[in-house]
């Protein structure tokens, strides 16, 4: 018998519930990835992520070939292509992971229409704890992180699966090469390579024990940088939690807490798919539109060095440090008062880890329309800069116009006797920003 493993955000051999179930249920397995034009039309196949995806698929194909299988890649509607392949091969079953976005749900119901009870949907591939597995009495999700975290810690999670040692894929069905989906050019020159092999290498090379001390230091760059691999499922969150818990200690605990934030946002989106683009809490229309200011923000030319450093890191690497994401997002929404969707769209276009649950719900958290229990919190870009980049090294790394300045003077170039001519003056008067923060709004 033949089964199809339709892979989506689970591009790995290790701890893959979909591959595991397909291999147990049939003699031969067709691991399938379908590049759906619906994903492209919705803007989710942005060039940075598409380049990373091509790496992931090539790596997965190579790993599958080592154990006797291969990956089939096709283009078209995921449901129709899968159904066509099921006809072609006479597959008795199709296995796929449950998703949380509206797109994933539509795909699942279209697959169900084509395949009926030959479709098997598996929970527990995307997150460490299945969305909805922990919920407050009478509700379908947690709206506040801390009680979710406590419930998460009390919940039982599944054990990771081993990687299959062998897999037989029937000869015959043909697909395209991973390179056929690689974009001609990407927006960012410094993208990381994709794939499960690279993800596992990074985890091994990275020191989780120092995480608690360094994770807020912008210049130290001491976080795992595993987010793109988690987004594409090159690593399973379940396995990563397991690995970290085995390591133990304050660093591993702080790291697991961040992975729980990921689960938290996924359980919110699973219950409220509309929150991808609508305010999670109706806060309404306090935004102003100023395309010149929004463009200066996108270009990293706001005149606030730490904000510009973050935006330029994003442009160059397709990735930004979490602390820089928080303060650039706060600057756009709470200093410039621009709609969070303007920022979320730009992030989604460039981020190689760009993820509907994590991106949109973090944006909403910062904008005060989401799950933050202190929605009026505003991050002061200057005190944040002093705290998170005390020596100014992060700014010097990303803003070459300021690279010659010493120490933290780099955070306030407007105070210099002769401010660098090629660096913009602040978009908003810094004195006014501080005064605005002091008046009425919470200050962090």
Q: Applying CB under 6 A, which residues contact ligand FAD?
A: 215, 223-227, 230-231, 255, 258-259, 261-262, 265, 322, 325-326, 329, 347, 351, 353-355, 358-359, 362-363, 366
Give the Cα-Cα-Cα angle 121, 122, 127 (nearest 5 degrees): 130
Would you say 374 or 418 has its CB closer to ligand FAD? 374
Work out how close the CB of 97 gets to ligand FAD at its nearest, in angstroms, rounded to a whole number.
Answer: 17
Tell me how far, at minimum, the Cβ of 85 lies from ligand FAD, in Å. Answer: 31
- Whichever of 33 and 347 has its CB closer to ligand FAD, that residue is 347
The partner residues of 378 in beta bridges, in order of sequence, read 443
Give the nearer residue to ligand FAD in terms of CB position, either 354 or 430: 354
**Cβ 251 vs Cβ 208: under 8 Å:** yes
Structure-token match 């015959």, residue found? 172
* Residue whose CB is less far from ligand FAD, 70 or 231: 231
Q: Could you tell me if 7 and 32 are in contact, meaning their C-beta atoms sit under 8 angstroms apart?
A: yes
**CB of 51 vs ligand FAD, minimal distance in Å:** 16
Shortest separation between residue 205's beta carbon and ligand FAD, angstroms: 13
CA separation for the pair 189, 192 (Å, rounded): 9
d(CA 48, CA 219): 24
Interatomic CA distance for residues 11 and 23, integer angstroms: 16
Which lies closer to ligand FAD via its Cβ, residue 111 or residue 199?
Answer: 199
For residue 325, give the nearest of 401, 407, 426, 223 by alpha carbon: 223
SS3 of 236, please?
coil
Strand 28-35 relative to strand 72-75, pairing: parallel
Of residues 50 and 325, the one with the C-beta less far from ligand FAD: 325
Task: State in angstroms the smallest separation of the CB of 348 from ligand FAD.
Answer: 7
Give residue for tokens 């092999």.
Answer: 197
We find the least distance from the C-beta atom of residue 254 to ligand FAD, in angstroms, to be: 9
**Residue 435 falls in which region: left (phi positive, over 0), alpha (psi -120 to 50) or beta:** alpha
Angle at 159 between CA 249 and CA 229, to 5 degrees: 70
What does the block give as tokens for 204?
């091994």
Q: How far is the CB of 321 from ligand FAD (least distance, A)?
A: 6
- Per DSSP, 210 falls in state G
Q: In terms of CB distance, is 89 or 267 closer to ligand FAD?
A: 267
Nearer to ligand FAD, 102 or 258 (CB): 258
Please check whether residue 4 is in contact with residue 95, taking contact to mean a CB–CB distance below 8 angstroms: yes
Euclidean distance between CA atoms 34 and 46, whole angstroms: 16
Q: Which is nearer to ligand FAD, 74 or 325 (CB)?
A: 325
109 token code pair: 């119901």
Of 82 and 188, CB closest to ligand FAD: 188
User: What does each C-alpha distance from 131 to 98, 112, 157, 269 come to in angstroms?
Assistant: 10, 21, 12, 9
Find the Cα–Cα–Cα–Cα dihedral 408, 409, 412, 417, rounded to 10°.
Answer: 180
Q: Closest distance between ligand FAD and the C-beta of residue 99, in Å?
A: 15
Measured from the CB of residue 312, what is the shortest distance to ligand FAD in angstroms?
16
**Taking the complex as a whole, how short is the minimal distance between the CB of residue 292 and ligand FAD, in angstroms?**
22
């Amino acid at each position: 018998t033949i089964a199809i493993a339709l892979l989506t955000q689970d591009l790995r051999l290790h701890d893959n519930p979909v591959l595991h179930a397909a291999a147990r249920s049939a003699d031969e397995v067709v691991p399938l990835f379908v590049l759906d034009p619906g994903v492209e039309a919705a803007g989710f196949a942005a060039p940075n992520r598409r380049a990373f995806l091509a790496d992931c698929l090539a790596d997965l194909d190579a790993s599958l070939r080592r154990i006797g299988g291969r990956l089939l890649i096709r283009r078209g509607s995921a449901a129709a292509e899968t159904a066509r392949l099921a006809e072609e091969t006479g597959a008795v079953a199709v296995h796929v992971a449950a998703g949380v976005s509206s797109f994933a749900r539509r795909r699942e119901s279209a697959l169900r229409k084509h395949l009926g009870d030959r479709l098997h949907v598996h929970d527990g591939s995307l997150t460490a704890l299945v969305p909805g597995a922990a919920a407050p009495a009478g509700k379908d999700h947690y709206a506040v992180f801390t009680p979710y975290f406590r419930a998460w810690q009390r919940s039982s999670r599944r054990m990771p699966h081993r990687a299959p040692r062998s897999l037989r894929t029937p000869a015959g069905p043909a697909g395209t090469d991973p390179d056929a989906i690689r974009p001609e050019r990407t927006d960012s020159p410094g993208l990381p390579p994709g794939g499960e092999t690279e993800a596992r290498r990074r985890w091994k090379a990275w020191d989780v024990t120092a995480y608690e001390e360094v994770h807020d230091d912008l210049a130290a760059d001491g976080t795992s940088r595993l987010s793109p691999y988690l987004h594409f499922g090159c690593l399973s969150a379940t396995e990563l939690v397991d690995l970290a818990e085995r390591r133990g200690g304050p660093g591993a605990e702080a790291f697991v807490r961040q992975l729980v934030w990921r689960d938290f946002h996924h359980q919110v989106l699973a219950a409220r798919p509309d929150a991808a683009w609508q305010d999670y809490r109706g806060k309404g229309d306090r935004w102003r539109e100023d395309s010149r200011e929004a463009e200066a923000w996108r270009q990293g030319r706001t005149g606030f060095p730490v904000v510009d450093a973050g935006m330029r890191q994003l442009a160059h690497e397709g990735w930004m440090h979490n602390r820089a994401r928080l303060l650039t997002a706060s600057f756009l929404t709470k200093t410039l008062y621009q709609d969070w969707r303007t920022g979320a769209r730009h992030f989604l276009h460039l981020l190689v880890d760009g993820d509907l649950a994590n991106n949109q719900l973090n944006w909403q958290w910062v904008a005060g329309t989401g799950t933050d229990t202190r929605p009026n919190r505003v991050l002061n870009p200057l005190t944040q800069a002093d705290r998170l980049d005390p020596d100014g090294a992060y700014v010097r790394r990303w803003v070459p116009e300021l690279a010659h300045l010493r120490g933290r003077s780099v955070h306030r170039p407007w105070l210099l006797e002769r401010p660098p001519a090629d660096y913009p003056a602040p978009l908003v008067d810094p004195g006014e920003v501080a005064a605005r923060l002091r008046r009425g709004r919470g200050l962090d």
